[in-house]
């Protein structure tokens, strides 16, 4: 699904007339995280050795449809970050000077990290404003950050998305650290000094109580607004079990707050109030919900079964997992958000960042389900023919 504002961005990046562009509200930041946009630049480096390449040839190598909305947005976002030049209808795509530095593994890591910061944060007006204001400070609640943007001179149409994308970008650049029990935005100079001291080259392109259950779910099937439902796939376990406590904590502290800003109601299998076989109800929610969040923690077989059904149906799903669990090979091709639950003292300071990551990935999954990874479509594309 491509939103109106996304189309506006793409039209502007491709050279639409100024008169037409003025009639629309365009976001002053790219419609994806820097890491997601970086995939186009990495493809140019991989398939064309960093040289100018025909757009159609590159899309063929990337197994992307040149005319799809998702492809257009990928090119537009890469262009807005300054990673590549050339719009979604251009004959050729090319890495910018800084883009070439970022995706070239032969360049010094410090140089690559500096260029990435300049593109991902400093080069985007609202992100640069937030970085300058909160640098070397504790990151406040997201509502405070949104208020700061409201009071700024920059008009931001979607404050939630802007804040989420900023947080994901600074985390990917290792600018967000837990210091003194709170998440603190450190300066890029400190990060660059640390990188200079390291001898190893790490690619930053791989940047990874019982809940209040919404009422009104005891409805007939045709009364459910499926476009506003997120089905939470998770190991539930018996009452008082560690699995149940985990599911309750993640739902109330991470999943529900993250999806509130998207206007989605989170539903879990044990909270479906309709009479009938629970298996039938679960299948219905798997098939018709706008989004699914799949918690792979504890490697529960029922969870993997339900995730497979969403993959087979080519429906948007976001995968999350505890850091202490090892992601099985079958689903490790799909992007999975990893959350450290080692102890409460390290978890609580990171809750806001984890929520932002979920919200950011949820938006991407809804706009382009296969962009977050679907093993069936990746390894067996003929499955759908």
Whether 117 maps to a domain, the answer reads no
Long-range contacts of 221-229 (CB under 8 A, 24+ apart): 221/274, 221/284, 224/288, 226/288, 226/289, 226/290, 227/290, 228/263, 228/264, 228/265, 228/290, 229/264, 229/265, 229/267, 229/285, 229/288, 229/289, 229/290, 229/291
Dump pLDDT digits (tens) for 364-381: 999 887 666 676 666 666
Same domain, 185 and 321: no
Same domain, 181 and 227: no
Boundary residue ending a domain (42, 67, 102): 102
- Binned at pLDDT 50, 70 and 90, residue 278 comes out as low
- Binned at pLDDT 50, 70 and 90, residue 274 comes out as low
Same domain, 78 and 156: no
Q: Span 154-177, mean pLDDT?
A: 95
Domain holding 73: CATH number? 1.10.10
Q: Span 189-215, mean pLDDT?
A: 58
Higher pLDDT pick, 182 / 25 = 182
- Domain total for the chain? 3
- Binned at pLDDT 50, 70 and 90, residue 287 comes out as very high
Domain hosting 94: range is: 4-102
Cα-only R_g, the chain? 21
> Does residue 159 carry a pLDDT above 50?
yes
Higher pLDDT pick, 8 / 87 = 87
Boundary residue ending a domain (181, 206, 231): 206
Boundary residue ending a domain (43, 69, 102): 102
Q: Span 179-186, mean pLDDT?
A: 87
Dump pLDDT digits (tens) for 66-94: 999 989 999 999 999 999 999 999 999 99
> Across all residues in the chain, what is the average pLDDT?
85
Whether 214 maps to a domain, the answer reads no
Same domain, 326 and 188: no
Look at residue 379 in the predicted model and tell me its pLDDT.
61
> Does residue 357 carry a pLDDT above 50?
yes
Cα–Cα distances in Å, from 131 out to 123, 124, 181, 262?
Answer: 11, 10, 20, 24
Look at residue 331 in the predicted model and tell me its pLDDT.
73
- Binned at pLDDT 50, 70 and 90, residue 19 comes out as very low
Look at residue 219 in the predicted model and tell me its pLDDT.
41
Nearest to 119 by CA among 82, 75, 144: 82
Whether 216 maps to a domain, the answer reads no
- Binned at pLDDT 50, 70 and 90, residue 215 comes out as very low
Whether 314 maps to a domain, the answer reads yes
């Amino acid at each position: 699904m491509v939103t109106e504002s996304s189309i506006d961005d793409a039209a502007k990046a491709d050279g639409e007339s100024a008169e037409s562009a003025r009639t629309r509200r365009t976001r002053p930041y790219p419609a994806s995280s820097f890491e997601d946009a970086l995939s186009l630049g990495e493809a140019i480096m991989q398939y064309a050795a960093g040289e100018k390449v025909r757009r159609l040839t590159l899309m063929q190598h990337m197994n992307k449809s040149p005319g799809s909305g998702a492809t257009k947005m990928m090119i537009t976002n890469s262009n807005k970050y300054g990673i590549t030049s050339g719009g979604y209808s251009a004959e050729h795509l090319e890495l910018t000077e800084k883009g070439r530095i970022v995706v070239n593994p032969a360049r010094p890591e410090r140089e690559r990290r500096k260029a990435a910061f300049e593109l991902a944060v400093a080069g985007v007006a609202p992100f640069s404003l937030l970085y300058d204001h909160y640098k070397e400070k504790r990151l406040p609640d997201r509502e405070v950050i949104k208020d700061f943007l409201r009071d700024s001179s920059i008009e931001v149409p979607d404050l939630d998305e802007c804040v989420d994308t900023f947080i994901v970008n600074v985390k990917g650049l290792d600018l967000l650290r837990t210091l003194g029990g709170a998440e603190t935005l450190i300066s890029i100079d400190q990060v660059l000094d640390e990188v200079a001291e390291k001898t190893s080259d790490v690619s930053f392109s791989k940047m990874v109580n019982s809940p209040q259950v919404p009422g009104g779910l005891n409805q007939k099937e045709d009364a459910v607004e499926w476009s506003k439902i997120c089905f939470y796939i998770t190991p539930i376990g018996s009452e008082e079990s560690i699995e149940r406590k985990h599911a309750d904590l993640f739902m109330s502290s991470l999943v529900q707050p993250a999806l509130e800003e998207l206007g989605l109601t989170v539903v879990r299998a044990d909270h479906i109030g309709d009479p009938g076989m629970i298996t039938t109800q679960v299948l219905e929610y798997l098939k018709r919900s706008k989004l699914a969040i799949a918690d792979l923690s504890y490697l529960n077989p029922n969870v993997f079964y339900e995730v497979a059904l969403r993959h087979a149906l080519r429906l948007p799903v976001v995968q999350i997992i505890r850091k202490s669990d090892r992601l099985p090979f079958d689903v490790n091709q799909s992007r999975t958000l990893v959350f450290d639950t080692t102890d409460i003292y390290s978890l609580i300071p990171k809750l806001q960042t984890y929520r932002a990551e979920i919200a950011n990935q949820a938006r991407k999954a809804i706009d382009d389900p296969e962009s977050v990874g679907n093993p069936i479509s990746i390894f067996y594309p003929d499955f759908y023919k």
